[in-house]
Amino acid sequence: MLRKITLLVLVGLFCQKLSAQNDYKNFSQLSNSLKQLASKNSSLAQLKAIGKSVQGREIWLLTLTKGGKAEEKPAICLVAGIDAFHLAGVESSLQIAENLLKNASKDSVQKVLEQKTIYIVPCLNPDAYEQAFAKVKYERNFNASNSDNDRDGKLNEDSFEDLNNDGYITLVRIEDATGEYKPHKDDSRIMVKADATKGETGSYILITEGIDNDKDGKWNEDAEGGIVLNKNFTFNYPFFTDGAGEYAVSEPENRALLDFLYEAKNVYAVFQFGVVNNLTEPNKYDKQKATQKIIAGWQEKDVKINEQVSKLYEKAGLKNYPSLPTQGGNFTDWAYFHYGRLSFGTPVWAIPKDTAKKNAIDNEEVRFLRWAEANKVPNVFLDWKSINHPDFPNKKAEIGGIVPFVRYNPPMNFLKESIEKHTKFFTEFLWQMPSLQITNVRTESLSGGLTRITLDIHNKGLLPTHSELGEKTRHVDKLKVEVLTSKNQNIVAGKRKEVIRKPLGAGEKLELSWIIAGSGEVQIQMHCATATNGKESVKVSLK
């Protein structure tokens, strides 16, 4: 009897951990959660669709702010689900919103929501996101647009097949003397390319699970759907590559996001939850790239800001995340180089680097398996099992590999702590954003009925009014100053309207001066969409 009870407890614990890993919401559940969140917090949250996916699913925008018009307050924009297999980013964006609204009565959060706006696009690629909840699961990152990826004039003719009917698309390894792959030295379950420079030779062919439907010697190269949203943005667009689309921003999902952002003049910084990471390891300054005619590197002052924000990220307890490779046409680069905003990316959760150093393993997949074993996370690897593959008769073929989605999407109990830390980070970042005031207003009576007016515009915040690159683009709303005069007044010296293209740095002040003829009062207005108190005016009496 005791043995039965013990067995039941162990089974229960196993099922609990297994369900924890599958607690991510499908798109319908995500939509319902967003609607309920907005409904319960109607004075703080507004939900609307800014567009629809190829298959007609909503591209949701959740706006968080308290009082006043959202578009008249400086904002940050959080975007998730561009990398559709990154369920953790989608879930984190929702839970960060929940955390902020839950704590909206606390003084620190309340003031942030009174002074700032937070835009959240939780799932940009819902059609691909749904693959994680389909009958057959694979890490799909392309939307539902038809695409002839292998350029043979046919669409979707070589997709994946679930050859062993386990509900997952994994890998097939085939023993072959001409193969390029070999088992990893630290874990034979993981296959890696043999390195000829080290005297290594391969013994396996490695393909994704499926058959060569079109008999072109390639496997699953033209699956259902076809455009990778994170390769479809305008900066460094990878022309004529698989998944990039026929032209940049060809997809309705990307157009919906960019249409919104270009109208949102108040967006100060953009954050992407996905495989991009410049918060753990900030961008490096490359003078050649940063100064060439077509700018391809972060500007020097922006690199310093990236370092400052990276320290803030670490201070929130978020550190040692690995840097992940990027590709051309990605959103984070677009947001900086073509939108002109400070642009940051984070994986939200990853195996800490210190674990990797401790184990001294050079392969991310092996590191993940070691981490999963150490933390008793089940169901992360499907052991290699023999199968008769029709494309490889008389050869030993086996199906197996890491279970789809588990590498980037941990069980919720691991994600929760990271979400709380990210909530803290974003709150602190919002506090550090630029904050302007008109100060030190002075008047001086001059001969001939003239008055000199001098004042300072002071940035009390810890970040500049906009990026250094933003100085070079018209898409960033700059600081503007205007003098409003009456009929009997005339500006003798100084500009009636002035656009301050150069960013006003943290703690910096800008002195402006005018000489005005006449009597009475003049009004001096300041406007900066990306700064707190960015819309202010003073009345000055002429002497």
Please check the confidence at residue 146 and state whether its pLDDT lies above 80.
no
CA 166 to CA 543: how far, in whole Å? 85
Q: What is the CATH number of domain 2-131+227-350+409-432?
A: 3.40.630.10
- DSSP line for 130-182: GGGGSSSB----B-SS---TT-SS-SS-B----TT-SSB--EEEEE-TT-SEE
Q: Are 114 and 54 in contact (CB under 8 A)?
A: no
CA dihedral 316, 318, 324, 326 (to 10 degrees): -10
Mean pLDDT of all residues in the chain?
Answer: 90
pLDDT in tens, 443-481: 999 998 999 999 999 999 999 999 999 999 888 999 999
pLDDT in tens, 255-292: 999 999 999 999 999 999 998 999 999 999 999 999 99
- Superfamily name and number for 436-541: Immunoglobulins (2.60.40.10)
Average pLDDT over residues 140-164: 70
Q: Are 235 and 331 in contact (CB under 8 A)?
A: no
CA 244 to CA 182: how far, in whole Å? 31
Predicted TM-score (pTM) of this structure? 0.91
Q: Do 2-131+227-350+409-432 and 436-541 agree at the fold level?
A: no
**pLDDT bucket at 14, cuts 50 / 70 / 90:** very low
CA 35 to CA 403: how far, in whole Å? 32
Distance of CA 167 to the CA centre of its chain: 29
Q: Provide the residue type at 116 as one letter.
A: K
Query: What pLDDT shows up at residue 221?
Result: 60
pLDDT in tens, 524-533: 999 999 999 9
Query: What pLDDT shows up at residue 475?
Result: 87
Query: What pLDDT shows up at residue 5?
Result: 39
The bridge status of strand 267-273 relative to strand 75-80 is parallel
- Token output for 344: 């940051």
pLDDT in tens, 69-92: 999 999 999 999 999 999 999 999
Q: Are 63 and 70 in contact (CB under 8 A)?
A: yes
Please check the confidence at residue 395 and state whether its pLDDT lies above 60.
yes
Please check the confidence at residue 19 and state whether its pLDDT lies above 80.
no
The C-alpha R_g of the chain, in whole angstroms, comes to 28
Average pLDDT over residues 128-152: 83
Which phi and psi (to 5°) does residue 411 adopt?
A: -55, 150
CA 508 to CA 502: how far, in whole Å? 12
**pLDDT bucket at 149, cuts 50 / 70 / 90:** low
What does the domain layout of the chain look like in residue ranges? 2-131+227-350+409-432, 148-224+379-402, 436-541
CA 9 to CA 11: how far, in whole Å? 5
pLDDT in tens, 88-109: 999 999 999 999 999 999 988 9
Average pLDDT over residues 398-421: 94
CA 21 to CA 15: how far, in whole Å? 10
